[in-house]
Amino acid sequence: MSKVGYEGQVYEVLDDESVLQCLHRNRVAIPSSCGSGICQSCLMRVTEGKVPESSQKGLKKSLKKRGYFLACICRPEGDLEVALAGDEIVHRIAVRVVDKHKMNDQILRLRLECLESFEHKAGQFINLHRSDGLSRSYSIADSLPDNILELHVEYLSGGKMSTWIHNELQVVDLLEIDGPHGDCYYSANDQKQNLLLIGTGSGLAPLVGILHDALSQGHQGNIHLFHGVLDFSRLYMVDELSQLADTHDNVFYTRCISGDVVPDGCYAGFANSAALEQYSSLAGWRLFLCGHPDMVKDTRKKAFLAGASLQEIYSDPFEFSR
C-alpha to C-alpha distance for 237 and 103, rounded to whole angstroms: 8
Overall average pLDDT of the 205-218 stretch:
96
Quick check: helix, strand or coil at residue 70? strand
For residue 13, the tally of other CB atoms under 10 A from its CB is 21
Would you say residue 37 has pLDDT above 90?
Answer: no
Q: What's the mean pLDDT when you consider all of the chain?
A: 92
Q: In 3D, which of 223, 198, 195, 202 has the Cα closest to residue 273?
A: 198
321: confidence class by pLDDT, cuts 50, 70, 90:
low
Structural domains in the chain, CATH included, are: 3-84 (3.10.20.30), 92-181 (2.40.30.10), 195-315 (3.40.50.80)
pLDDT in tens, 214-254: 999 999 999 999 999 999 999 999 999 999 999 999 999 99
Would you say residue 132 has pLDDT above 90?
Answer: no
> Which pLDDT belongs to residue 96?
98
Would you say residue 117 has pLDDT above 60?
Answer: yes
**Cα angle at 249 between 245 and 252, to 5 degrees?**
40
Distance of CA 207 to the CA centre of its chain: 11
Overall average pLDDT of the 176-185 stretch:
88
In this structure, are residues 182 and 123 in contact, taking their beta carbons and an 8 Å threshold?
A: yes
C-alpha to C-alpha distance for 124 and 114, rounded to whole angstroms: 15
> Which pLDDT belongs to residue 83?
93
In this structure, are residues 220 and 250 in contact, taking their beta carbons and an 8 Å threshold?
A: yes
Would you say residue 63 has pLDDT above 60?
Answer: yes
C-alpha to C-alpha distance for 263 and 175, rounded to whole angstroms: 40
- Prior bond to 263 cis, omega within 30? no
